[in-house]
Amino acid sequence: MLEFKNVSVVKNGTALLKDINLSIETGKLTVFIGPNACGKTTLLQTLNGSSKVSKGSITLNGEDYLALPPKERAKKLSFLPQVHSVIPAIPVRTLVSHGRFPYLGFSRRSGDDDKHIVNEAMSKAGVDEYSGEGVDTLSGGVRQRAFIAMQLAQQSDFIIADEPTTYLDLPSKKMIVEIYSGLRDEGKTVVLVLHELSTALEIADRIVVMGDRKIVSTGTPEEIISSGIIESVFGATVKKFSDETGEYIVVM
């Protein structure tokens, strides 16, 4: 279990996170939703050290997560940030092999096991056919999957991604959501930040609603829908439809 206890982040006198108390259950798919600038990214950035925790603690399966060396953290928990700031001009295989960084020694030489894990990760993310192509030459969807393959090569039990579907077309979004849902089905703990509310409510086991740099509500999708919190935070209405093919959630 990943637990945030009274976590606050303050930068230059501004509170970026206010007293976060949250437990993320093992083996579940948790989705963070909330308007822009509500603190979702800052909260996840506390996990890779990009945002420094000013107060409070984070524990992973009872262990003080923030006290772990960075490489140990990266073995236990992989976090894929919003990756649009840098698009590396390197082959996909090289990018994916960077996922083995936490496991490599000083010489950074990878072994046969590492190569096998990289191949498996590329295959799982569906990018093995792009192995030799430059990441900067790929479409947005394939590029995102290449980064996901890098994340998979980290072989961590906790898998976290910040807006992995933003700016992508519908088929690409679907593929990426399927990859993360599949990981949950394999027993991994998955945490995603999504802006597509209907997708979030459909795939999540747990929803965390954030607003004004704090947790507004948590619960199962049903609990969140029935609580009316979507209406109050997003000003949107949630409708459920069903037909012979299944039940659908539409956010309007």
Partner 1 sequence: MKEKADKKILYITALLIILAVSFVVSLSFGSVKVSVGDVIGAFVSPSTSPVSTTIIRDVRFPRVLAGFLAGAGLSVAGVILQGVMNNALASPNTIGVGSGAGFFVMLSLALFPGKVWLQPVFAFAGALFATLSIFALAYFADTSRITIILAGITVSSFLSAGINLIKTLDTDIALNINSFLIGSLSGVSLKDITIPGIFIAAAAIIAIFLAGALNILGLGDDVAASLGMRVSSVRFLLMIVSSILAGSVVSFAGVLGFVGLIVPHICRRIFGNDAKILIPCSILLGGSFVMICDLLSRVLFSPYELPTGIIMSFIGGPFFMYLLIIKKGGRRLNA
Contact positions toward partner 1, by CB under 8 A?
Answer: 45, 48-50, 69-75, 78-83, 85-91, 94-95, 98-99, 101-102, 104, 106-108, 131-132, 136, 147, 154
Closer residue to partner 1, CB minimum distance, 115 or 240: 115
What is the CB neighbour count within 10 angstroms for residue 50? 12
Q: Min. distance of Cβ 151 from partner 1 in angstroms?
A: 8
Q: Min. distance of Cβ 110 from partner 1 in angstroms?
A: 10
Q: Buried b vs exposed e over 125-149: b needs ≥16 C-beta within 10 Å?
A: bbbbebbeeebeebeebbbbbbbbb
User: Which secondary structure element, helix H or strand E, spans residue 185, and what is its range?
Assistant: helix 170-185
Q: Min. distance of Cβ 46 from partner 1 in angstroms?
A: 11
Between the alpha carbon of residue 26 and those of residues 173, 176, 205, the distances in Å are 24, 21, 11
Closer residue to partner 1, CB minimum distance, 66 or 87: 87
Q: Min. distance of Cβ 126 from partner 1 in angstroms?
A: 19
What is the CB neighbour count within 10 angstroms for residue 25? 12
User: Which secondary structure element, helix H or strand E, spans residue 5, and what is its range?
Assistant: strand 2-11
Closer residue to partner 1, CB minimum distance, 71 or 239: 71
Closer residue to partner 1, CB minimum distance, 54 or 220: 54
Q: Min. distance of Cβ 80 from partner 1 in angstroms?
A: 7
Q: Min. distance of Cβ 162 from partner 1 in angstroms?
A: 9
User: Which secondary structure element, helix H or strand E, spans residue 214, and what is its range?
Assistant: strand 214-219
Tokens read off for 72: 């140990």
Measured between alpha carbons, how far is 193 from 41 in angstroms, rounded to an integer?
A: 8
Closer residue to partner 1, CB minimum distance, 76 or 217: 76
Closer residue to partner 1, CB minimum distance, 180 or 221: 180
